[in-house]
Structure 1
Amino acid sequence: MVRLRPHHLLCVLTFVGEGYNPAFVVNYRRLAGRLSAGEPIEIVSGPDDICAPLLSDEDAHCFGASVAGRDASALADIARLLGRELEIGSVIASDPALFDKLRRAFSAGVTRRACTGCEWNSLCDRIAGQDYAGALVTTFSRPETAPGTSARRPA
């Protein structure tokens, strides 16, 4: 099970391999692979599996009040989007339907309150604006279409 704090449910949508340091990127790539393989997600409070490589730094932002605020905003927005209660300890299936819904809402700005003031916001805007090209949670990307056919995205 991949342990994610609420705002990281949004961050994984646009992860393209950039990060705070090499250890962070290696770990995040591994987690993107696990999510792409359909491993379930457990919602946690505070530092999660993505934060792990940063926790030896005593100034790690993972413990900051602003990050806890991002988590609260993301949890509320995602719960509203999914039409179900979400709380710490909730488990979510990591499947194409979830990530498609999250990506559409993220692109539309429906779930972006947690992003206010984030240093990665412009990168995320660019990735979302390019239909998530290069995002490393790949199982959930739009499938390739055969020549002579067209892909229809669900509404």
Structure 2
Amino acid sequence: MLKIRAHHFLCMQGFQGYGYNEEFVENMGKVIKYINSKENLNITLLDSCDDICTPCTNNKGGKCVDSNKVNVMDEKVLKKLNLKSGEVVSAAKLFSLVNKKINTKNSAAEICGTCSWHKECLWFSKLKD
């Protein structure tokens, strides 16, 4: 079962090939493709390094060196979705909840406004003000 941190359910929808290094980009693409190919796929939701983070240059021994920023993003997503780290939820439900409860630029900016990729994020750019 895949383990995915909460804020990555925003990132995966806006991903277009940018990342921390080539391995991260390749891995993110594979994870997205896998999730999209599996109907009713269950995911373990996390608020820490996950299966996407594995090749990230900020992942040092399973801990994110940028944890202050990304942990807050995860906490905000979990709170908005009324979920907890460790819960097992279908990917389809997670994407649906994200798009239902975080559906404006303002609500997304509260979570990912400090993200270095939000200006390139297709999901963020499609949101209305």
Same fold, judged at TM 0.5 (above):
yes
Superposition pairs of residues 25-104 of structure 1, within 5 angstroms? 25-38=25-38, 39-54=41-56, 58=60, 62-63=64-65, 64-79=67-82, 86-95=83-92, 98-103=94-99
Does the 8 Å contact 1:5/1:45 carry over to 2?
A: yes
Cα-Cα RMSD: 2.8
Aligned-residue identity in percent:
27
Amino acid at match of 1:75: L
Out of 119, 122, 128, the position equivalent to 2:119 is: 122
SS in 1 for 2:44: strand
Write the distance in 2 (CA, Å) between the matches of 1:33 and 1:44.
20
- Provide the C-alpha distance between the structure 1 equivalents of 2:97 and 2:85, rounded to a whole number of angstroms: 21
SS at match of 2:71: helix
Match of 1:149 in 2: none
Q: Which has the higher strand share?
A: 2
Checking the alignment, whether the CA contact within 8 Å between 2:21 and 2:57 is kept in structure 1 is no
Matched residues in 2 for 1:88 and 1:47: separation? 12
Deviation of 1:102 after TM superposition, in Å, equals 2.6
**Is the 8 Å Cα contact of residues 44 and 89 (structure 1) preserved in structure 2?**
yes
Contact in 2 for aligned 1:105/1:111 (Cα 8 Å): no
Partner of residue 110 from structure 2, selected from 102, 110, 113? 113
Q: Which has the larger radius of gyration?
A: 1
Q: Which amino acid aligns with 1:66?
A: K
Aligned length: 123
Q: CA-to-partner distance for each residue in 1:26-77, whole Å, 9 max, x for gaps?
A: 111110011102332211231101110026864x982422221111111111
What's the TM-score, normalizing by structure 1? 0.65
Could you tell me which runs of 5 or more consecutive residues in structure 2 were left unpaired when the two chains were aligned: none
